[in-house]
Amino acid sequence: MNQSLDDAPAAHHWTGKALSWTDQIADPIMTAWAMYRSSQHWLIAGKPHRAVERAGAAMVHDTKVPSPVRAALRVQHAHALAAVGDNREAMQLLDDAHRWAADRGPGKPEGEHGSYCTSGYIEVHRRTCLRLGQRPDEAIAVLDAALPSIPSLHRQDFTSALLSKAAAHVAADQPDQAAATARIALPVARRAGSRRILHELAQIGSAVDEHRHLADVRAFLDDLVETP
C-alpha cells in the first residue's frame, strides 16, 4: 500500500519488517515474497544491482512456492537484470515465466500470492525490459498484444501497462500517441488511488509538454491539471 502511495521509505520499512519475521517462521513462500517486494523497492529507488541481489535470493526458494509465485519471481528477476544491462538473460527468464503463469494452470488462484502474474502481465514486463534495452518499437508491439489479456479486475496492473505503453511512445518520439495512451490511464489511476502511477503520468505530461499544439497532447495536459 505504501508503494502505491509513493511512500518509498515506508515501503522499505515494512518490507524489512516482513523479511525479519519470515526468517523467524521459516516460511519459504513468505520469504520469497518479501524478497520479491524488496527487489521491487530497490528498483524504484534506482539501485538495480541491489534489486538483482534480492531477486536472486528470492529465486533460491523457487521450487518451494506455488506456480504463480514462480512466474512472478522470474518476472522481477528479469526486470532487475534488464536494469543492469543483462537483456539476454532477462528475456530467457520471461520466456520461462510463461510455464508458471497464473492463467496456465487449472482453477482461478485469485487472492493468492502471484495470482495477478498472468501471461499478459509477463508480456507487459517484457515491454519494460525492451525499453531498458533501448528497443521502444518492439516494446509498443508487445504491449499492444498484451493489454487485452490483462484481467479488468487488476486495475493497477492495467494502468501500469498503459503507463508503460505511453513511456514507450515517448521514447519512440510519438508524443500524440503517448498522450492519448496516458489519458486513458489517468482516470483509472485516480480511481485506484495510486499516487505512484499518478506521479509517473505527470512525468509523461512533462515529457510531451512541448508538443501541446497537438490535440491529443493538449487534451491529456488539460485532464492532468483537473482536480479529480
- Chain mean position to CA 217: 24
Whether 145 contacts 123, CB under 8 Å: yes
Q: For residues 142 and 117, is the Cβ–Cβ distance under 8 A?
A: no
CA distances from 104 to 44, 84, 98, 144, 149 (A): 29, 30, 8, 21, 13
Q: Cβ contacts of residue 167 below 8 Å, gap of 6+?
A: 131, 178, 200, 204
| Angle between helical axes of 67-83 and 87-97 (0-180°, round to 10) | 170
Is the pLDDT score of 227 beyond 60?
no
In this predicted structure, the answer to whether residue 154 has a pLDDT above a threshold of 70 is: no
What pLDDT is stored for residue 50 in this prediction?
Answer: 95
pTM for this entry: 0.72
* Residue-level pLDDT at 60: 94
Region label for 154, one of left (φ > 0), alpha (ψ between -120 and 50) or beta (otherwise): beta
Q: Is the dihedral of CA 200, 201, 204, 206 positive or negative?
A: negative
pLDDT tens-digit readout, 35-78? 999 998 898 888 999 999 999 999 999 999 999 999 999 999 99
Write down the pLDDT at residue 153: 60
Taking residues 112-129, what's their average pLDDT?
Answer: 85
Q: Which three cell numbers stand for residue 110?
A: 485469485
Band of pLDDT at residue 118, cut at 50, 70 and 90: confident
